[in-house]
Structure 1
């Protein structure tokens, strides 16, 4: 049903119910497409394609940021600031990896995020475990042109996940059931 032009909701009455159609205030914010063959999705993909030449540089910058966060932990230890920097750097790699064309790097970054997020005492996280994750991300990105990178990255990600789960089980042994949802498989295919 069309909305009333007076800016008020319309009411359609029936014997046993009423249908109230609220005013669509967003209607004014939507731009009408001028050309029938104009495809906003195609425009967005074209813009993304223009930027895609820079994706490798951006991913290397994300890896440098992750490495700097690791170095801050080595220098200053685990504290709120250094953990936040490391977590955000790993989380950004995890999120940007597929967009930037390096989807195989996301697994190691995700595993590091899980370790940081689910460790009850960050001071007990072995720096060697952090090093393994950061080095894996950097190696996967650096060696992405190799024909066997999928096999290498899959093996690295699988082993990191196993080691991380063992560590998390150990440090969370006093919290029965806490990790049940953490170790469940993802809902979306990976």
Structure 2
């Protein structure tokens, strides 16, 4: 710190690009920021000027592959469902089914399938909130997996929203009914709201 002026006023000056402000009992030194000019020059040249726009363009470039990725995720979910049907719920089949549903829950909205994310979230909730997964009816698992696959299959058609809304509503009803029965008549997450992630579709404004 440098000694200040005796009259209590302040004086601002620059030395070698460094800004120095003198106060009565101290000085504030602001060193030059060489990155500021570099960033300004980069923005003017159009390089990295808008990271959000760059990310949106990258997503848009990949959007043609999203349907294929979702089909692969649905196949993985179906395989996990078949394993549950064949072996019942054990540590391995429960984990595989949960992870397949969880990945769709987390990725489907980014891929442009937010309704599928809602159905997958319901499946994850069913597995998470049931005290003993072995008591989950396989038919209820089937309803969730088939709903996800139907929503993906109908995506882009005129009736896609109607189908997705009907399936999501029905899943919520049957899952709530089962969870109440398994948790002493109470919903373990009654204050929580199950909804799809609010992620815009690639290229959307």
Aligning the two structures, in what range does the TM-score lie when normalised by the shorter sequence? 0.7 to 0.9
Residue 35 of structure 1: aligned partner: 43
1:8-56 deviation per Cα after TM superposition (whole angstroms, max 9, x unaligned):
xxxxxxxxxxxxxxxxxxxx9xx95723342122111111111111000
What TM-score do the two structures reach when normalised by structure 1? 0.76
Residue 66 in structure 1 maps to residue 74 in structure 2: no
Partner of 1:135 in structure 2? Answer: 146
Superposed displacement of residue 76, structure 1: 1.8
SS at match of 2:43: coil
Cα distance change of structure 1 residues 152 and 189 upon mapping to structure 2, 3 Å threshold: closer
Given the alignment of the two structures, is residue 44 of structure 1 paired with residue 55 of structure 2, yes or no? yes
Name structure 2 gaps, 5 residues minimum.
1-34, 198-205
Q: Answer yes or no: is 1:184 the counterpart of 2:195.
A: no
Q: Distance in 2 between matches of 1:187 and 1:160?
A: 11
Judge conservation of contact 1:94–1:107 (CA < 8 Å) in 2.
yes
Deviates more, 1:34-43 or 1:64-73: 34-43
Alignment of 1:24-173 (within 5 A): 32=39, 34-36=42-44, 37=46, 38-173=49-184
- How far does residue 177 in structure 1 lie from its aligned partner after superposition? 5.7
Query: Using CA pairs below 8 Å that are at least 6 residues apart, which structure has the higher relative contact order?
Result: 2
Counterpart secondary structure, 1:78? coil
Q: Distance in 2 between matches of 1:112 and 1:162?
A: 13
CA-based RMSD: 2.2
Deviation at 1:172, TM superposition (A): 1.0
1:165–1:183 CA contact under 8 A, matched in 2: no
TM-score by length of 2: 0.70
Instruction: Please identify the structure whose Cα radius of gyration is greater.
Output: 2
Distance 1:49 1:104, change over 3 A: same
Q: 1:144 to 1:45 in 2, by over 3 A?
A: same
User: Relative to structure 1, is the Cα distance of residues 163 and 43 closer, same or farther in structure 2, using a 3 angstrom cutoff?
Assistant: same
Contact residue 143 and residue 149 of structure 1 kept, 8 A: yes
Distance in 2 (CA, whole Å) between partners of 1:177 and 1:161 is 15
**Alignment match, 2:31:** none
